[in-house]
């Protein structure tokens, strides 16, 4: 059901008012209105000639650790300059209004937590965490050095971003929590994701199979679109505040006071 993105379907408003368990899967699109480029849109500047899917791999890191480390440093700087947007804040409000909201994100930018979301499952890790390439354990401090990437203070191996690269497995615990949320949710939102990356892209289908109402929020169609219950075609930063206002009226101000 393709809807006018500015008008939230009455049926969805009613279901949200009585919902007790909601799951939300977000992708890079929810950070687009914060000025953070989405994962697959053309990269800019010196990174324009690289395909993110080729850089976000252990092979790329082994081949050219300095290049991959500097790509992540560039992305960290982009995110540091960004702020959560009205879409992030609307999800914080939804978390306050509904008994159980599981927020599952593919994003590594940390913007949901910066907006104030409490229950965040970071399926693909976090841009601002670092781990040892050899020992695969987080490293918080390392001696200043001219080496790029820096070295692990415990074993001397290279340090790497603590993100899940293509070809690497997701943390079993995070995936288990996400799958459980998809199976038990009454309403499952898929927001700002091209629904191409697995196993995250399986989650909305898991929710559908369990009988959930599935809502997609995206200006563009995705492989998930034909299957969803409600398809809201527009930017998350506009639709989510509108949805929160229509469902919980007195939560007004999200779309105004925080833009
Ligand atoms: C794994 C971290 C086991 C790094 C990322 C089946 C099962 C299992 C695996 C596979 C499988 N089939 C294929 C695979 C392999 C692979 C995969 O899925 N490949 C794809 C490309 C086919 N999966 C894996 O490798 C995963 N590992 O399963 O382990 C295994 C082990 C060995 C061999 C096989 C399997 C690991 C996947 C994790 C990869 N790491 N990120 C980093 O960020 O640098 S994924 C990366 O893509 C980001 O996390 C990103 O979030 C994610 C998904 O992309 P999107 O978020 O959707 O972003 P995208 O740019 O694509 O789309 C943005 C959307 O927003 C668009 O639709 C746009 O229209 C919309 N939008 C734009 N503006 C707005 C908006 N929406 C709303 N509002 C707006 N304003």
Say how many C-beta atoms besides its own lie within 10 A of residue 170's C-beta. Answer: 18
Q: Calculate the alpha carbon distances from 97 to 19, 22, 57, 226, 248 in Å.
A: 10, 11, 39, 29, 8
Residues with CB under 6 A from ligand 1: 27-30, 32-33, 38-40, 53, 56, 106-108, 124, 163-169, 192-194, 196-199, 217-220, 222, 235-237
Specify whether the CB–CB gap between 24 and 231 falls below 8 A: no
What pLDDT is attached to residue 56? 95
Report the CATH architecture of 1-35+84-124+170-259: 3-Layer(aba) Sandwich (3.40)
pLDDT band at residue 107 under the 50/70/90 scheme: very high
pLDDT in tens, 176-202: 999 999 999 999 999 999 999 999 999
The 10s digit of each residue's pLDDT in 25-81 is 999 999 999 999 887 776 766 677 888 888 999 999 999 999 999 999 999 999 999
Residue located nearest, by CA, to atom 73 of ligand 1: 29
Q: Which of 30, 36, 38, 234 is the pocket-test mutation for ligand 1 (most atoms within 8 Å of CB)?
A: 38
Non-local (6+) Cβ contacts of 16 within 8 A are 22, 98, 187, 243, 247
Q: Which option is the CATH number for 37-81+130-163: 3.30.1600.10, 3.30.1360.120, 1.10.8.60, 1.10.760.10?
A: 3.30.1600.10
Q: Is 154 a catalytic residue?
A: no
pTM: 0.94
Q: What would the two tokens of residue 96 be? A: 């306050």
* 186: DSSP letter: S
pLDDT tier at 1 (50, 70, 90 boundaries)? low
What is the whole-number distance in angstroms between the Cα of residue 127 and the centre of ligand 1?
A: 15
What is the per-residue pLDDT across 143-167, written as a single tens digit (0 to 9) for each?
A: 888 899 999 999 999 999 999 999 9
């Amino acid at each position: 059901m393709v809807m006018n993105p500015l008008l939230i379907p009455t049926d969805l408003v009613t279901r949200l008012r009585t919902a007790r368990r909601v799951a939300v899967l977000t992708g890079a699109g929810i950070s687009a209105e914060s000025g953070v480029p989405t994962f697959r849109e053309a990269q800019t500047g010196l990174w324009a000639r690289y395909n993110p899917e080729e850089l976000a791999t252990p092979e790329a890191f082994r081949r050219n650790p300095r290049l991959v480390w500097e790509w992540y440093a560039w992305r960290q700087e982009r995110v540091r300059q960004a702020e959560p947007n009205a879409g992030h804040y609307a999800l914080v409000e939804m978390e306050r209004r509904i008994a159980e909201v599981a927020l599952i994100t593919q994003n590594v930018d940390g913007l949901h937590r910066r907006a104030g979301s409490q229950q965040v499952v970071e399926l693909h890790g976090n841009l601002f965490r670092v781990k040892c390439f050899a020992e695969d354990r987080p490293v918080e401090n390392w001696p200043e050095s001219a080496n790029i990437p820096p070295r692990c203070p415990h074993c001397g191996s290279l340090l790497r971003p603590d993100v899940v690269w293509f070809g690497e497995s997701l943390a079993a615990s995070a995936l288990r929590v996400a799958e459980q949320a998809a199976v038990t949710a009454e309403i499952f939102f898929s927001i700002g994701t091209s629904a191409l990356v697995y196993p995250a892209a399986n989650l909305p289908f898991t929710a559908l199979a369990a009988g959930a109402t599935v809502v997609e929020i995206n200006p563009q169609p995705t492989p998930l679109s034909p299957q969803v219950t409600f398809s809201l075609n527009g930017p998350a930063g506009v639709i989510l505040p509108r949805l929160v206002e229509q469902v919980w009226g007195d939560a007004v101000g999200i779309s105004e006071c925080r833009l």
